[in-house]
Amino acid sequence: MTFKENILDGKVALVTGGRSGIGAAIANRLAQLGARVIAAGLAQPEGATDTLDAAVEQVSLDVCSTEDVTAVIGRFERLDMLVNCAGVIRRGDEHEVDVFEKVLDINLNGTMRACAAARALLKKSSGCIVNTASMLSFFGGGLVPAYSASKGGVAQLTKSLAIAYAADGIRVNAIAPGWIATPLTQALQNDDARSQAILGRTPLARWGTPEEVAQVAVFLCTPAASFMTASIVPVDGGYLVA
């Protein structure tokens, strides 16, 4: 047990993109520590194997719709934690302008929509926001210009909102996952040559797990991180410095 049991008793968390991958792992971990957790997002595709704990509530949410985001968050009477995990990647297709725009709308604009809609509730609880940046917040990717641009934007948005929301008592931080074994990276995991190249550069020499990313996200939501805001925390097995 990394954290004190029930450390989040009485707290309420919304996790966008929380029905699969890293988002689902974060939702599960928050619930295991006593929070009431709502995992919001699109329905999982057929054949998806991610599972949410029974304690985690689920709600449909399209982060590309301001009206939908506002309506979902408007149902809350209290909110202590907002974790933004909704995101997509379209390797090889992102040089097409329409695909580029869609990826940015989900990854970057969707994050801002949720933050803006949740601000008033988080102010009441002196709550916190954890956004999902990426290794590609720090360097580019030739096949994923939209994903890279959106995640660079998420990092800068996190810093900007940390300044803007500080007077409200709201902390705003971000995790920056590296190569994590999720459905988003399944094609790379299945490509032996690409996987070996990734592992060869990663000092810890393995793929990370969603649960390992979740532990860091949860830390940023706890009192242990009470003097942290505007931080972008890599969870990448050392990839960035290798």
Active site residues: 147
180 DSSP assignment: B
Backbone φ and ψ of 15, nearest 5°: -115, 110
Mapping DSSP to helix (H, G, I), strand (E, B) and coil, where does residue 150 land? helix
Backbone φ and ψ of 68, nearest 5°: -65, -45
What is the rounded distance in angstroms from the CA atom of residue 203 to the CA atom of residue 193? 17
227: number of Cβ within 10 Å = 7
Long-range CB contact pairs, 160-165, < 8 A, 24+: 161/115, 161/129, 162/229, 162/230, 163/230, 165/119, 165/122, 165/123, 165/129
98: number of Cβ within 10 Å = 8
Q: How much is the CA Rg of the chain, to the nearest whole Å?
A: 17
